Amino acid sequence: MFSLPKNVTLIEVGPRDGLQNEKNNIPTEVKLSFIQALHDAGIKEMELTSFVSPKWVPQMKDAQEIVQRVRKNGRQLVLTPNKKGIHAAINAGAESLAVFVGVSDTFNQKNIHCSTSESVTALRPLIQQVKQDGHYVRACISTAFHCPYEGFIRPEQTVALCRQFVEMGVDELSVADTDGMANPLASHSLFSNLKTQFPEVLITAHFHDTRKMGIANIYASLQAGVNRFDTSAGGLGGCPFSPGATGNVATEDVLYLLQSLHIETGIDLTGICLAVDEVAPYLSRPIETAMYQLYKREQLERKE
């Protein structure tokens, strides 16, 4: 008989991963209101923004202003693809950094224009330095299950890449089903392996809901002992370098699952829906997650 975690941490990625692929330009003030509402709902760990080239990801052009103006609350991560991004983030006042590498060489080339091994080689001295300087470092492992260009990824490839980052001294591994091709068996197997091999590192599961398997994969990962998940309020998201990848698994839908299993998160579901209200009018597509739609229907019924 399996046992589930009693407590789970949800790392909210809506402000960064959720908005990076949004076609409409979201005003900085709206992003800040969205972030504050998420904090008000009980979120303690969050991806705020990314220090990437505005040429490639124009939505993140206000990264410096976001970091400098946001109210400090819990662990606030910023994504940094390279030396330039890391230095810009630190100069803006960021304390917690996230780096990212794809297991797939092809994905990595399309994303950051170098191979996986070249990325690891370039990041190694940077990670070691920022760790010495006292920064928290998260390594985001993309295409951990499948690549839209290369197909299915062998689990040993993902584990080997994770091991390299563990040896560099990262605090956390965020292991991502980038294009939503994982299934519960594969999720349980990979995360069981990672939890066993790297007990000293925080292991976070990051699922996209492209094929509506996100909740099933999260449940399988809970059974494997995972107690940290990246989620996105409103199911926002998608990867600009992964054709067809839709949003991340929705924070509000994951919360409902966890609440039904009596797993504590410290996060208020209605508060998450209120946060989605802050950004929804500015988006190019409607929010269609189950719990947000239920929340909106209940609002209408109260008005009638």
Task: Report the catalytic residues.
Answer: 239
Alpha-carbon gap, residue 228 to 218, rounded angstroms? 10
List the one residue out of 103, 120, 31, 109 whose CA is nearest residue 67. 31
Query: Rg of the chain's alpha carbons, rounded to an integer?
Result: 18
Q: Cα(262)–Cα(86) distance, rounded to whole angstroms?
A: 39
Q: Closest Cα partner for 116 from 168, 174, 158, 167?
A: 158
Which contacts qualify for 191-200: CB closer than 8 Å, 24 or more apart? 191/220, 191/221, 191/224, 191/225, 191/226, 192/224, 192/225, 193/155, 193/159, 194/159, 194/162, 195/224, 195/225, 195/226, 197/159, 197/162, 197/163, 198/162, 198/163, 198/166, 198/173, 200/166
Strands 151-152 and 96-102: unpaired
CA distance to 64, 76, 118, 201, 291, per residue, from 270 (Å): 30, 22, 44, 32, 9
- Tokens 């299915």 label which residue? 152
Closest CA to 139 of 91, 98, 194, 93: 98
